[in-house]
Amino acid sequence: MIQQFDFPVRMLRAEGAIVGESPVWSQREQVLYWVDILKPALHRFDPASGQQRSWTAPAAIGSISLARNGKIITALRSGFHWFDPAEASWTLIAHPEPHIAHNRLNDGKTGPDGAFWAGTMDDRADKQPCASLYRLAPDGSISAHGNGLVVSNGLAWSPDGRTMYHSDSRRAVIYRYDFDAASGTLGPRQVFVQMQPEWGRPDGGAVDAEGNYWGCGITAGRINKFSPQGQLLGYLPLPVSRPTMCAFGGAELKTLYITSLTENMSAEELAREPLAGALFAVDMPVAGTPVAEFGA
């Protein structure tokens, strides 16, 4: 039986983000980093004080990852960049698709191999399957690991690091791959979940310590919980229809942070959803799987 969860959803920031995305918890700082892709901005939110610091990005910022050297890896429209919070500086590492002007980097996350995995998406209204998934290694090299995507999304790893999850939002499918952390290589792409319309399209996701995949159902206003076998176990209704990504954080990794968007919403929709674009938090009964930091 599919369960409807009644965990209380707290609004943390009434940000009105255009496209809030990529929440990343810093265990070292006990703060949450997240982005507004199209503003474009990188935010640092302190749950203890409620204070937020923001930096303007030089281009659309699809996703981020903390790095072991204290800096932040960022996936900008103009390529992978280092961001140094101490100096508020952006430094280009490499661009995986300089020849495809209508694509931009989207969802990304560091895997158990210490590399930053991020995919691209067709940024045109009439989206085509011209996107790919990339691996940025700690030495700065880039390799492609699958193409023919429309909107790459939903990256996450199982607790043992042997399975990678990844979705194509426009195809409404979540994939799984066997993952080799020692070599940073993938097995064949397999369908993990074919989304149903009432579940929403798959957006960002996170995995809990029990191996369940929690994925944002954008357009359906919910977070879906899937078992490691791909069975829908339950869902968490949200006060907004367009959640974009979730991430576990907090001292015990038992807080689920959720971003949302306002992009392309009509005035009538925004009036019905005054919290659209906000940052939310949910106290969870289970901890999340820690996300690795970039670096060898």
Residues tagged active-site? 203
Q: For residue 234, which of 199, 262, 209 has the smallest C-alpha distance?
A: 199
CA pair distance 280, 257, nearest whole angstrom: 6
Start-end of H helices in 132-285: 267-272
Residue written as token pair 């280009």: 92
